[in-house]
Amino acid sequence: MIQGVKGMRDILPPASGVWNFVEAAARRIFTRFNYREIRTPILEETVLFARGVGEETDIVNKEMYTFEDRDGSSLTLRPENTASVIRSYIEHRLDQQPGLQKLYYIGPMFRRERPQKGRYRQFYQIGAEAIGSDSPAIDAEVIELVVAILHEVGIRDFELFVNSVGSKKSRARYNEALQAELKDVAPKMCEDCRRRAQSNPLRVLDCKVPEDQPIIERLPSILDFLDEEDREHFRRVREFLEDRQIRFTVNPRLVRGLDYYARTTFEITHGALGSQNAILGGGRYDRLAETLGSKTPAPGIGFSIGEDRLVMTVEASQALNPQRLDVYIAPMGDTALRHCAALAREIRELDLSVELGTDRKLKRMMELANKQEARFTLIVGDNEIVSQAYTLKDMASGDQQTLSRQALLDRLRRP
């Protein structure tokens, strides 16, 4: 038997109904905030992620699915989508369009990491990018947007953490101080931290190894190295969040894992996910477009929600009603089957779900109606066809009504 690839999975009913619920909720919120959908290719040139995400990141070094195409070019399955959106923004000159470009996406990403609870090698992200402004008001609005999505799917007991990683100059000063501090303590840390202490010290703060956390807690705070402009930007972000009555905690260790972040970073966690409890993260990336070859500055801020983990949280937070079958029609014989096909079409036009039975045994069809938790069952035989009077059974109460065709449609139309 051929099985699915490790770390990739089938999303089956009824779970797929929760996915549809989450995505529909996200689309409603994106529309309210005036975001429009962008769909980028799953495959991109490898250099896009090496340059955009960062050659020293674990994503580029260890996790990307990269292969050589037949023409010798190197292609990669997208491990994240911000770099792809900015590539598309530059290529299609979206900077020439009026106003801020507010774009959202929903789709699969790929990283070859160790599968664990809520994390897969093919995983899904719901994300957005607001490109064309460096205003702290936009940072706060983006955070307001993600909070609105969580509220829309029924999640409220989450924690929001914010930080500033400063601009290039502030970060350079901090990196220098961090590297000096790590010189003595890095040998006591995990292998990844020892490597990062040399190549990119800021990444040490991303470490999730429990034994390393006491050392990380004693490292200098990046907030002490922000210049006046970065400090003011972060102050105003917090002010705008307070104006919106959005609760948050400043976490100076929150740096996010990608090279393109600058100034504002944020993350939301939820206790239902255990120790790896982040649902989403994001931040500002004011120079990413220039890194990817743009001649025009395009400051931006965005986020990505781990949809797999969000769905898990929704499932743990509330009991969603599964998709229910509205009407099961049990035709008695071939003539009735032809008659019921037309009747089923009329009922579906009422935006109701209909299952048209094809079994020749009434007992079997009634069993299926029960197993599929149909709200109503309609048994149609020769007498019903002649009289145009139909017996509708309410499966919950057991009550039956005999109705004309129009009365039947009117009854089903009511909630």
Query: Quick one: pLDDT at residue 318?
Result: 63
Residues 142, 271 within the same domain: yes
Domain span at residue 258? Answer: 15-156+251-317
CA–CA dist 193, 298 (Å, integer): 32
Q: How many domains does the chain have?
A: 2
Query: Quick one: pLDDT at residue 129?
Result: 98
Secondary structure of residue 208 in the 3-state scheme? coil
Query: Quick one: pLDDT at residue 321?
Result: 59
Burial class (CB in 10 A: 0-12, 13-18, 19+), 132: buried
Choosing from 298, 317, 336, the residue where a domain stops is: 317
Residue 240 lies in a domain: no
Query: Quick one: pLDDT at residue 315?
Result: 87
> Is residue 125 within 8 Å of 106, Cβ to Cβ?
yes
In 3-state terms, the chain is what percent helix, strand and coil (to 5)? 45, 20, 35
Residues 224-282: tens digit of each pLDDT: 999 999 999 999 999 999 999 999 999 998 886 566 788 999 999 987 655 558 899 99
Alpha-carbon distances, residue 194 vs 152, 186, 212, 222, 300 (angstroms): 42, 5, 11, 20, 32
Residues 63, 129 within the same domain: yes
Residues 19, 115 within the same domain: yes
Residue 407 lies in a domain: yes
Residue 225 lies in a domain: no
> Is residue 313 within 8 Å of 118, Cβ to Cβ?
no
Choosing from 317, 335, 358, the residue where a domain stops is: 317
Phi-psi region at 93: left, alpha or beta (left = phi > 0; alpha = psi -120 to 50): left
Residue 67 lies in a domain: yes
CATH of the domain at 364: 3.40.50.800
Residues 351, 288 within the same domain: no
Residue 279 lies in a domain: yes
What are the φ/ψ torsions at residue 351 (nearest 5 degrees)? 65, 35
Residues 341, 308 within the same domain: no
Give pLDDT tens digits along the chain (415 positions). 999 999 899 999 888 999 999 999 999 999 999 999 999 999 999 999 988 777 667 788 788 999 999 999 999 999 999 999 999 999 999 999 988 999 999 999 999 987 676 679 999 999 999 999 999 999 999 999 999 999 999 998 899 999 999 988 888 898 888 888 888 888 888 988 888 887 778 888 878 788 888 888 888 889 999 999 999 999 999 999 999 999 999 999 888 656 678 899 999 998 765 555 889 999 999 889 888 988 888 999 999 999 999 999 888 876 555 678 999 999 998 899 999 999 999 999 999 999 999 888 889 999 999 999 999 999 998 888 888 889 899 999 999 999 999 999 999 988 7
Residues 308, 353 within the same domain: no
Residue entry with tokens 């999303």 = 11
Residue 233 lies in a domain: no
Residues 6+ apart with CB under 8 A from 21: 153, 314, 320
Choosing from 317, 350, 370, the residue where a domain stops is: 317
> Per the omega criterion (within 30 degrees of 0), is the bond before 201 cis?
no
Residue 144 lies in a domain: yes
DSSP-derived letter for residue 59 is I
CA–CA dist 142, 130 (Å, integer): 8
Residues 278, 371 within the same domain: no
Residues 107, 133 within the same domain: yes
